[in-house]
Amino acid sequence: MFTEKDLRELLDCNAPDAVLSVFLNTDPSLGNADSYKLRLRNMLKKVRLTEDVAAVERYINMEYDWSGRGIAIFSSSKIGFFRAYPMAIPLHDRVQIGDSPVIKPLANLLDSYGGYGVALVDKQGARLFSFHLGELKEQEGMLGDSVKRIKRGASSSMVGRRGGGSTDSSAMDETIDRNMREAAEFSIDFFESNDVRRILIGGTDDNIALFRSQLPKAWQSLVVGTFSANMSASHAEIHSKAIEIGRAENKKRVQRLLDIMVTNTAKGQGAVIGIRDVLSAVSSGRIKTLICVNDYHEAGYICKSCGILTVEPAEHCEGCGESIEYVPDIVEAAIAYTLRSGGEVELIHDFPYLEGDNKIGAILRY
């Protein structure tokens, strides 16, 4: 299971020679092993790192068990570096070569789908789950004092006894209170030991509210969603809820970035939209976050001497006068430049209104 620790290890990997990063969607509902192998072969066709291509293909053909919905592979054979991480969440297809592993897609996954805790609660107890990147990591349950027994006792003892009802129903309230308090304490222990960073609560509206009120403020702030469910809900049900909310969270995060990009571009400071302005910002190392539609490609030119990127055809670099070189995909070059200069890259999916010149933009450092 991919963790923050793996991410840090990838961050620390600086290869003097190129690193091949491969992300492949292997969602079983969209295709089979053969179709994915074929797609991978096409994606790797232009890659000249033959040893790394062979290592990736060997892994896919011999070791990958195809149970995952995506796979991330990093290879730099010259330094003997090879890592493969099967994922329970689909990844978007991507192949990139750079002097370090491309980690942004995995950082995004951790950001959106990492460290989920789910508490399913009723008046008597709680069932707890921790999900990480779409996989069930741990589960536990606790059962407090029976509420039903007291309820039955209360109704029978009320017959013919004045005032007995209020005593018994307050005894029931006390039991519920105690159960909820214990469930909350138990949950916090569980969430803490499973590195949970966001919490979902399932149950009836009443029980969700009661349980939530028993959580300390700091833990309440980690609650990202609630859903109605009964205590016998299946793993699959709970899992799909967690994924659904993870997806919504991710969409919100990307939408926030897009909002900043659009607002600041309109103000004329702090952001740009369109390939020309983006390339000029990349050339001067001003990119904080490069935002780009996943399948956007554009031909362009690079000056190897001063590093200027442009889409304007010219004989010589307008910056330094040296000759410039044609590249079939200047967007790839912009992504590599940005990552190398410590910027972030956000590849956009599922935002269909990003068309034409809006397919690329950036939030700037200054």
Residues that bind Zn ion (CB under 5 A): 303, 305-306, 308, 317, 319-320, 322
C-alpha distance from residue 48 to each of 52, 65, 71, 312 (Å): 9, 27, 21, 27
Nearest approach in angstroms of CB 39 to Zn ion is 37
Q: Which C-beta is closer to Zn ion: that of 252 or that of 316?
A: 316
- Complex with Zn ion: residue 107 or 306, whichever CB lies closer: 306
Whether residue 282 contacts residue 307, with contact meaning beta carbons closer than 8 Å, is answered with: no
- Using the minimum distance from each CB to Zn ion, give the nearer residue, 139 or 305: 305
Report the amino acid identity of residue 199: I
The helix, strand and coil proportions of the chain, stated in percent and rounded to the nearest 5, come to 45, 25, 30
Taking the complex as a whole, the smallest distance from the CB of residue 27 to Zn ion amounts, in Å, to 44
Instruction: For the CB of residue 282, give the shortest distance to Zn ion in the complex, in Å.
Output: 14
Nearer to Zn ion, 285 or 319 (CB): 319
Q: Which is nearer to Zn ion, 226 or 310 (CB)?
A: 310
The secondary structure element, H or E, covering residue 325 is: strand 325-327
Angle at 17 between CA 5 and CA 346, to 5 degrees: 55
Which of 71/333 has CB closer to Zn ion?
A: 333
What DSSP string describes 259-298?
HHHHHHHHHTSSEEESHHHHHHHHHTT-EEEEEEETT---
What is the nearest approach in angstroms of Zn ion to the Cβ of residue 307? 7
Nearest CB to Zn ion, comparing residues 103 and 308:
308
Question: At 93, is the secondary structure helix, strand, or coil?
Answer: coil
Q: Nearest approach, Cβ of 283 to Zn ion (angstroms)?
A: 9
Count of Cβ atoms closer than 10 Å to residue 286 Cβ: 17
- Do residues 208 and 215 touch, judged by C-beta distance below 8 A? no
How many whole angstroms separate alpha carbon 352 and alpha carbon 359?
Answer: 10
> Least separation, in Å, of the C-beta of 343 and Zn ion?
21
Long-range Cβ contact pairs of 54-61 (< 8 A, separation 24 or more): 55/82, 56/20, 56/22, 59/84, 60/24, 61/37
Min. distance of Cβ 14 from Zn ion in angstroms? 26
